[in-house]
Structure 1
Amino acid sequence: MVLFKRKPVRYLPHPYIDDQECDVWVVSESNEVFTSYDAYLERMDFFKSKRFTCEVTGRSGLTFFDALRSEQAGSKEIDEAFPQALREPVLRRVQFSTTSRIDNLVEEVFNEFKNDFYPGELVTIILNDSSRLNGRVRDKAKFAEIRGPDGSVSRRAFSRYFVRIIDRPDEEALVDDQHIARDRKIFTKQMLRSFIKNAVTREGWIGAPWLVKPEIAERFRIDTNVPPQLQYSSKVAAKKAEKRNASMEQQDGMFGIWQPNKFPELKPAPKARKSQQHHSQEQIHPTARPYHAPYPDPGLLPRSWDLMQHPPPPPPEQYFPYLPGYSNPYLPPNGHYYPPPQPPPQPMPPKQQVVVEVPPPPPPPPIKYPIDDLDVEPVRDGTHRPALKFITEEQCSDRKQMENVIPGLKEENIGLLLETWNTLNVYCQVLKLDSFTFDDFVDAMLFSSADIDCEMFVEVHCAILKQLVKGENEDEGAIQISLPDLPDPDESEEESEEEESKLPTPTPEPEYPAKRTRSSLNKVKFAEPEPEPIEEDEVETVPHRAAEMFDEYGWIDRLRKRDFSKGGWELVMVGLLHQLAGRPRLTDVCVKILTHLAPLDAEPTIDTARTQYSTMDLNLRAEALQIICQLFLETKTVKDFLEDMSNTMTQYRKNKIEHQRARKEALAKLKELQIERRLLAPEPEKSPSPVPELEDAMDVDKTEEGDISIPDSEDEERLLTRSLRRGTDRAAERKRKREEEQERREKAAEAKQNKGSKEYQKVLKQIEKEREKVRAAEDAIIVIDGDLREADCPRTRVLGKDRFCNRYWWFERNAMPYGGLPDSSTADADYANGRLWVQGPDDMEREGFIEIPKQDQDAYYRRFQMTPAERKVMEEGPTRLNNAKQWGFYDTAEELDMLIGWLESRGVREVKLQKELSGQRDVIIKHMEKRAAYLVPREKSEEPPARMSTRTKAYFDDKTHRCLRWRNTTAIAELGHRHVDPPPKPRPRGKKNAVIEESKPASKALPVLNRQGKPVTRQEDDDAMIQEKVAD
């Protein structure tokens, strides 16, 4: 804005024009309209006077038009020079700032932003070898400060930036604050000052806040509602209240006895009777004077402004003649009479006078955190949630994100894979399966070959199927699940024969009307019977031949006999899915799978089922496996296992309480022993003896008044003491006395130590014993906590939700060991899943928090200048999850730290999630690193590989397909064979066989191990019983 006398020029309002045909004159630069040519010329003369100042450059002595052009050019130059990425953050920082001087404001903003960078900003990367590269900030993450229990800073706050290198478009750099810089010419104090002066304004009263100009605030969506505590009315009310309180304190001080000393108010004496009368008249009629609106500043108006329309003059005063009978008539100087004035209102006595004061509005109460996450003020510094990684192609928008994609996987089947893997690993003891990693599981689901079978894929299906139907030697092959009935063709034929054998229903005779006529009888007689509605049988075309694959040997009988080899388990899956198609909820999925397993163009044989299953799509495999996993969870075996785990957890909690009680008792005993140790300790330990040098100094002060120094050592004694007669002899005497005193004290301490050494040593041994008890109890508590975590099997526990209701899953959090079973065939991987998974919000949460009604959106927009959906786009970045079927993950320590720093501790959901992630951080990072090391391609062995014959069977390297390394050692150890293999036939009893059995070496029965590699125990009373059972 152009300045005149250091104030913005006020433009004249548009006049009211009645006649639309009259001539007007316009100043285009100020958009002012004049109906008088003289007023227009006056205004132009005012604008052409060189008394104006450019606000941007500070140049003065310009005409209004020159200053306006200079300001526009300067503003354009500032807009082009100032970095685009810094404009919004700087303006948000300046908005409502109460720093009085603009120099101080510029200094504060510059110091705050000089080491802070924002996405989209051009920066310079400083490499370790001091070389520099130009880049553009793509992403930014802030890490909060971490303090230790003692309050010390264990990690300072810092930021990390993903920077795209300009000269290398396909490369990015991850740098911190120490390896990134900004060009000095881009962000300077002078440029920042010019930008702030051009973008903000402030009112003239003291303490007024800086306000961003409305047009700029609207462009950047900056809130322009001034807080109540920064408004001028609030400041005035506060000052008035302060003055009123001060005066009340002065008047009421000392119960009103001592009045404050004040100087008398001095007023000039009246000079004439006329002035006195006029003064009294003004006092009697304070409201009789007409009100005239003040004109604008005369310096801003032309001299011919009087030619334009003026406000109407006040009406003339009316005077009246002398009224007879009025004893005190008022006679003005002009000789006219008018009625006497009304008597002034009598003031009320001080005790009855009531002063009604409107108190200032109270300030808004402080916000008590935590509150709902979306009610927290959004952070507008350019940071957003770290980018997610995806495993489906449809979620990836960049080629760089394709490295983690699982080929052919659909978005809606990610949850099925994770759910199935989690179920198999949680109940691996029930299923008698070795644990396996999620990466190996996905590899097994993708593996397809007609020549070789993947043992993991086959064993998983066979283990689950065996739990659905008992073996023929167990409970007579009882079915453990409820199955829908299949239509029996024999029953349908019998029903049709019964319908044919039934007598035909006689046709009812026609009803004749009561009043019969010939015509009516003819109508009834020759009326054609109404045709019965023919029920059209909807002939549904079955798109598969699953029913034709079973004759007399059904899938249940095959499952009872455990006939799984050579396509047997695939045929069982076909029969099971065919029968489950009778459930309405599973009909579509089962028909889709059966269409591939038993197509119409193939023979309904066992070979067809085996071939089709080996070529089935990953998505169909995931859906089929998820169906039988859900059936497995309905069995009584799972219910018994969960009940057993519940009892085990109860026993674990009791043991934990016992260990906690033992720890508490040991700590109490340890405290008593520490007190006893201090009492029995030798003299130096109880209280240190005075320093001998200080005692010598006290002796010197007593004997020699002239010696002013205190010796600190024997070497300094000769230099510090004053040289007097016989000074050397006195020094030697003091040294001899000190040695004698020291020897005496040593002898006394030795005698006392010999006297109490036995008791003291005994106490020390007891202290060490109690400390060992405390350590043992704490170690036992840690082990029990791990056992409780692994025994918590009923459901997988989510870590928490963020502000947009995305769920965060660390599947190793409960119900399974962190690194899988220690005796698994792939235990060297030492991880289970190794990824932090993020699931999108479900439909109810999305509609309740993000896609809110229009009225709520408008209210939210008025508060934060954005809707919840726009906030989600801004704060989540380009990698967003829109529904519960979408998943993403993090697999590096840097991403986890950035996520913890992005979470807001003032929100109710994110404060819990942040606490969980911070508590599990070390474990999560450890197994993320284990996964990264496991997935690195293994180096080729130096020894030449053994030659294998591949003439009859294809060979697959387990380095390419890691799932082929997996073996089901648990089933072999407990059952003696794999699940896919038929059970061994029982040997016939006989003497020969008994001799053979005795000749075999007796193998010691292997104990069943739990997930830590320890023997499985249920509700053991103490550790001694466990060791006894292991020994047996």
Structure 2
Amino acid sequence: MDFYKQRRFICQISGHSGLSFFEALKSELAGAQEVEEAFPNALKQPILRRVQFQTISRIDTLVDTIFEEFRSDYYPGEVVTVHVVTGDRLTGTVREKTHFGSKVLPDGTLSAPFSRYFVSLDGRPNEEAVVDDAHITRDRKIFTKQVLRSFIKKTVTREAWTGAPWLVKHDVAAIYNIDIRVPPHLRYESKAAERKQTQSQKKIGATDFDGMVGSFHGGNGPQARLPELKPAPKSHKSKQQQSQLAKSKQQPSLDPAPLNFIPTHFPPPPHPHPHPHFQPPPQIPFNSHPHAPPFMSHTFQANGPPQQVGPHFQNFHNSTFAFAPLASLPPAPPPPPPIKYPIEDLEVAPRVDGPKRPDLKYFSQDNPMIFGRPSAEGNGIHMSSIGQLLETWDTLNVYCQIFKLDSFTFDDFVEALQFTSEDVDCELFVEIHCAVLKILVNSEADDGKLQVQLPEMEDSDDEEEDSIEASAVPTPTPEPEPKPKGRATRSSLAKAEAEALQKAAEQPPEEPAGPVNTHRAAEMEDSIEWIEKLRKRDFKNGGWEAIMVGLLHQLSKDERHFADCEPLLVQLAPLDMEPTQETARLQYAKLDVNLRIKALQIICMLTAETKAIRGYMEESSEHMTMLRKEKIQFQRTKKDAHDALKKLNETRKALEPPPEPSPAPAVEKAAEKEASASVNGDVTMHDVEEEVQDSHGDEIMDSDEEAPPTRSLRRGLDRAAERKRKREAEQEKKAKAEAEPKVPKQSKALTKVLKDIQKLQDKIKECEEEIAILDNDLREADCPRTRVLGKDRFWNRYYWFERNGMPYSGLPTSSTADAGYANGCIWVQGPDDLEREGFIEMRPEWQDEYRYKFNMTVPERKVMEEGNTHVFNAHQWGYYEDPDSVEGLLNWLDARGNNELKLRKELQLYKDKIVTHMEKRKEYLNPSDEKSVDSSHKRMSTRGKQQPHVDHTAHRCLSWCNNTAINELGHLHSDQPRNRKPAKKAAPILPPAIEEERQTRSEAAKKQRKR
């Protein structure tokens, strides 16, 4: 607010500066009203038509142009002043205007155009003045540049890109019947394409054809540009090909004329073969000589006498090598502007024979498609209940810490809602209702305050009195028949009776005084007092069912909930049964699954108004802020580590010794020498020869006899190998000795750098792990709303409910955590009404336009591209449950559209998680034989708590147990709290405990990762 109070704003109408925002706004509104009243009505439409689509960028220049154009032009209906022949000035109103154009005079000049005006004079109804432009004026104060500028700024607008046209505002254009359709050449796409084409032409220069012709021309165009043109070698090549083709056709031998050829009767050029850097002198203009050929660059010279020029020209132009004159070529049309993707999804052209979307599966019993069968046939759930079912499951799992519930899978939840038994209670079904009801009203130990606002109920005494009065309505006493005047005869009595019957028939039947009772919920509520029962947490033996009846009955007093609550009350408190707690229990056990979903959805939505849920949202928001700050710190640390690592890598490269030359070249040289020697027939071995000579010398010194050559050679080879090894060892020692003084200094510095690099790499890895953990914590803490994966081209919404607000597989401490998934499906919701009416079921004229563009309407395209299954509105849902469908959906999505590009990115981001949980769900719903045998063996060996659950194999939902409530409260929600213990455990229910618990989720994940 301080910013708006600063005196830095300007009134665009008056130009006053130094105003606050509200003062400037008030001044602009007042100035706009003054301009609207002062500006002549007759000029509004012509000026707006003139301003529409103007491309003058500065408004001052636009105002000057419009003012100069209209200052001497007048329109019918405008108040003007005319100069009559007598010299008087009279006021009047322009009735008619006639414009005369220019006229061609005998000397060829044009006369100036002029206009003639018929003006009705004020005060002289029978007189009119016919004047021209020079004898008519308007009041100077009415039409000024300032007023015109204010009027234009008030009525037109302009987009923020270079070359954008001025556009009249839509509401003003509708008043004055001004076309608002922007011409194609003034749209942003055309302007952008035009600028790109201009830039490309500047870079490339002339086209290939223009360059070729320019290189041939002898005198056309500036000569300074000729050296810049490159296609001259192409032209020579093409001329050689032309001459070869001409020879193959047995035509006279033709040689291509040199560049800029001039016939022999013209003076020859001074330099027939100029230097590459030679600048040729100005040549004869094109076709300047009367006998020169029309295109010298296309002239060929025969090998015969040079005087015979004409026949060769005629032969050339009759051949296939002739070029059309440059002026006769049509200009190339500008290329269509390239489409900048992504664009609106339905504006992307349909793909011919493109992939179809994978078939949807329907969880409900009724199928929105005319053909096809539902995947869960016979489950009893209606399509109208699917949205409420998903909403309730998501709410209970996202806020399970507030409700003190173990998380549960979607399939177990559905099975619990379908479970009906008068003897066995489904713990999941009972605990959900009791946990939600406890949020609505505090316990007696916590002041027992009602946490939601409910409609007020009338007092029971007043209701009893009203019922007594309604039941004891006295029968109306019949009105006394009017006594007949005078003497009564039979005919007169019959006539009176007929009139009375006719009046009774004409009167409408009397409506009942009050509403008809369809249930006994009011009586049940009076006998139970559901709020007091809820404060005491009396849920056993039909207690929570009776509380539900009382709550629904009180909600039905609100018009918004009446239609939803009334069918439930008719079933839970029927007229033919006593209004008791036992009746509520029995009726709830037999309640239809769709009504169960509706009842649970009603009370779950009530919890959004409670302080517990709102406080949880606020704490989650603050927790997310803290997590984001922590993530930013890790990101900064990671960036600094990356920068330091880059510098250390440069230092390492500088400290590393140069790589030693590989011995491969020496080996190759030796091999070459051996190969050359083998070619000559001798294999030379230098070391062996030296050793042989030495051995010979030794033997000669010892004895005069010569040793056998073979034996001496063998000994020479042995000695040569030994000496060679010794020599190599000595060389290695020398090399090490030479390198020893330098290595220690380099190795210490290099070792230190390598250690620092390793530390930084570990630090970066640690930061990445922490950022990943924080991202997951942010995802789990994002609980205010369900995030949608995205929308497709037909505005269907795609949900993966594990996307935010909960762990991917539910709470790890849940009793059904071994399932390994939470929902395990991608749910597809149809478009809402606004999107359906605006984008799919459009107006007929819009559908015709779309058909003209793509040869089909949007509904036809939907049927063609979606395959065999569809969802048509927001009340219809489908789902995908197998990994192949996810892959097919990714192939079907077109990344050229805005919606599907975002949806595709989200699916690719979470694809691995989605596929994993789909597989986990499949294993959970269809366990293998080994797992089923193991699980049954475990159940048979257990005792105690699991002993009553005897039918777990038939109903998975019976395996769920609320461990969270047992650990935090010491008992289930449905059990009666123990004496004095709830008071001691009241502290953990407060919001600080919730905050501590929320923080421990991320801390536990960190500790687990660090282990």
Residue equivalent to 1:837: 827
Query: Which segments of 5 or more consecutive residues in structure 1 lack a partner in the other structure?
Result: 1-239, 267-354, 500-531, 698-708, 990-996, 998-1004
Could you say if the C-alpha distance between residues 1016 and 493 of structure 1 is closer, same or farther in structure 2, counting changes exceeding 3 Å? closer
Shift of 1:478: 0.7
Report whether the alignment pairs 1:597 with 2:556.
Answer: no
Identity of aligned residues (%): 46
Shift of 1:878: 1.2
Equivalents in 1 of 2:559, 2:608: separation in Å? 19
Instruction: Tell me the number of residue pairs that the alignment of Structure 1 and Structure 2 aligns.
Output: 634
Report whether the alignment pairs 1:647 with 2:622.
Answer: yes
Deviation by residue 1:608-639 (Cα, 9 ceiling, x = unmatched): 00000011001000000000011001111111
Residue equivalent to 2:808: 818
One-letter identity of the residue aligned with 1:252: G
Shift of 1:258: 2.4
Report whether the alignment pairs 1:971 with 2:953.
Answer: no
Partners of 1:444 and 1:963 within 8 A in 2? yes
Map 1:865-876; keep pairs closer than 5 Å: 865-876=855-866
Map 1:449-488; keep pairs closer than 5 Å: 449-474=421-446, 476-488=447-459
Q: Return the match for 1:252 from 214, 217, 221.
A: 221
Of 866-875 and 483-492, deviating more is 483-492
Report whether the alignment pairs 1:912 with 2:902.
Answer: yes
Residue equivalent to 2:977: 983
Shift of 1:660: 1.5
Shift of 1:773: 1.6
Residue equivalent to 1:569: 544
Query: Which segments of 5 or more consecutive residues in structure 2 lack a partner in the other structure?
Result: 1-205, 225-280, 295-326, 471-506, 692-719
Residue equivalent to 1:710: 669
Shift of 1:689: 1.4
Equivalents in 2 of 1:1024, 1:826: separation in Å? 20
Residue equivalent to 1:386: 358
Shift of 1:1018: 8.0
Equivalents in 2 of 1:636, 1:594: separation in Å? 28
Deviation by residue 1:865-908 (Cα, 9 ceiling, x = unmatched): 11111111100111011111111111111110110010011111
Residue equivalent to 2:916: 926
Equivalents in 2 of 1:940, 1:850: separation in Å? 53
Deviation by residue 1:76-115 (Cα, 9 ceiling, x = unmatched): xxxxxxxxxxxxxxxxxxxxxxxxxxxxxxxxxxxxxxxx
Map 1:528-543; keep pairs closer than 5 Å: 538-543=513-518
Equivalents in 1 of 2:783, 2:601: separation in Å? 18
**Secondary structure at 1:550 match in 2:** helix
Residue equivalent to 1:628: 603
Partners of 1:544 and 1:594 within 8 A in 2? yes
Question: What is the TM-score normalised by the length of structure 2?
Answer: 0.57
Could you say if the C-alpha distance between residues 715 and 802 of structure 1 is closer, same or farther in structure 2, counting changes exceeding 3 Å? farther
Deviation by residue 1:668-712 (Cα, 9 ceiling, x = unmatched): 33334434444444xxxx211123453x58xxxxxxxxxxx7125
Residue equivalent to 1:939: 932
Partners of 2:615 and 2:991 within 8 A in 1? no
Residue equivalent to 1:8: none
Residue equivalent to 2:315: none
Equivalents in 2 of 1:634, 1:648: separation in Å? 21
Shift of 1:665: 2.6
Deviation by residue 1:50-69 (Cα, 9 ceiling, x = unmatched): xxxxxxxxxxxxxxxxxxxx
Report whether the alignment pairs 1:376 with 2:348.
Answer: yes
Could you say if the C-alpha distance between residues 241 and 918 of structure 1 is closer, same or farther in structure 2, counting changes exceeding 3 Å? closer
Residue equivalent to 2:954: 960
Shift of 1:596: 0.4
Partners of 1:389 and 1:401 within 8 A in 2? no
Equivalents in 2 of 1:838, 1:441: separation in Å? 20
Could you say if the C-alpha distance between residues 460 and 650 of structure 1 is closer, same or farther in structure 2, counting changes exceeding 3 Å? same
Residue equivalent to 1:1017: 999
Could you say if the C-alpha distance between residues 587 and 730 of structure 1 is closer, same or farther in structure 2, counting changes exceeding 3 Å? farther
Equivalents in 1 of 2:859, 2:469: separation in Å? 65
Shift of 1:473: 1.2
Could you say if the C-alpha distance between residues 492 and 261 of structure 1 is closer, same or farther in structure 2, counting changes exceeding 3 Å? closer
Could you say if the C-alpha distance between residues 758 and 787 of structure 1 is closer, same or farther in structure 2, counting changes exceeding 3 Å? same
**Secondary structure at 2:541 match in 1:** coil
Residue equivalent to 2:869: 879
One-letter identity of the residue aligned with 2:999: T
Shift of 1:859: 1.4
**Secondary structure at 1:959 match in 2:** coil
**Secondary structure at 2:445 match in 1:** coil
Shift of 1:361: 4.6
Equivalents in 1 of 2:348, 2:901: separation in Å? 12
Shift of 1:946: 4.1
Map 1:3-18; keep pairs closer than 5 Å: none
Shift of 1:764: 3.4
Q: Return the match for 2:633 from 658, 661, 674.
A: 658
Cα-Cα RMSD: 4.4
**Secondary structure at 1:1017 match in 2:** helix
Partners of 1:438 and 1:832 within 8 A in 2? yes
**Secondary structure at 1:368 match in 2:** coil
One-letter identity of the residue aligned with 1:906: R
Equivalents in 2 of 1:894, 1:1010: separation in Å? 44
Write 1 or 2 for the structure with the bigger share of helix.
2
Residue equivalent to 1:846: 836
Map 1:414-493; keep pairs closer than 5 Å: 414-474=386-446, 476-491=447-462
Shift of 1:978: 0.6
Equivalents in 1 of 2:608, 2:991: separation in Å? 23
Map 1:334-349; keep pairs closer than 5 Å: none
Shift of 1:654: 1.1
Map 1:746-895; keep pairs closer than 5 Å: 746-895=736-885
**Secondary structure at 1:394 match in 2:** coil
Residue equivalent to 1:615: 590
Partners of 1:389 and 1:889 within 8 A in 2? yes
Equivalents in 2 of 1:1006, 1:412: separation in Å? 36
Question: What is the TM-score normalised by the length of structure 1?
Answer: 0.56
Shift of 1:460: 0.5
Could you say if the C-alpha distance between residues 381 and 967 of structure 1 is closer, same or farther in structure 2, counting changes exceeding 3 Å? same
Equivalents in 2 of 1:734, 1:483: separation in Å? 105
Equivalents in 1 of 2:615, 2:675: separation in Å? 85
Deviation by residue 1:30-73 (Cα, 9 ceiling, x = unmatched): xxxxxxxxxxxxxxxxxxxxxxxxxxxxxxxxxxxxxxxxxxxx
Partners of 1:820 and 1:831 within 8 A in 2? yes
Shift of 1:568: 0.3
Map 1:996-1007; keep pairs closer than 5 Å: none
Equivalents in 2 of 1:794, 1:576: separation in Å? 26
Partners of 2:442 and 2:448 within 8 A in 1? yes
One-letter identity of the residue aligned with 2:669: I
Residue equivalent to 1:413: 385
Equivalents in 2 of 1:1026, 1:1006: separation in Å? 25
Could you say if the C-alpha distance between residues 710 and 608 of structure 1 is closer, same or farther in structure 2, counting changes exceeding 3 Å? same
Could you say if the C-alpha distance between residues 565 and 742 of structure 1 is closer, same or farther in structure 2, counting changes exceeding 3 Å? same
Residue equivalent to 2:559: 584
Shift of 1:743: 3.6
Equivalents in 2 of 1:648, 1:988: separation in Å? 28
One-letter identity of the residue aligned with 2:783: C
Deviation by residue 1:560-593 (Cα, 9 ceiling, x = unmatched): 0100111000000000000000111110110100
Shift of 1:663: 1.8
Equivalents in 2 of 1:688, 1:944: separation in Å? 66
Shift of 1:364: 2.2
Equivalents in 2 of 1:591, 1:988: separation in Å? 36
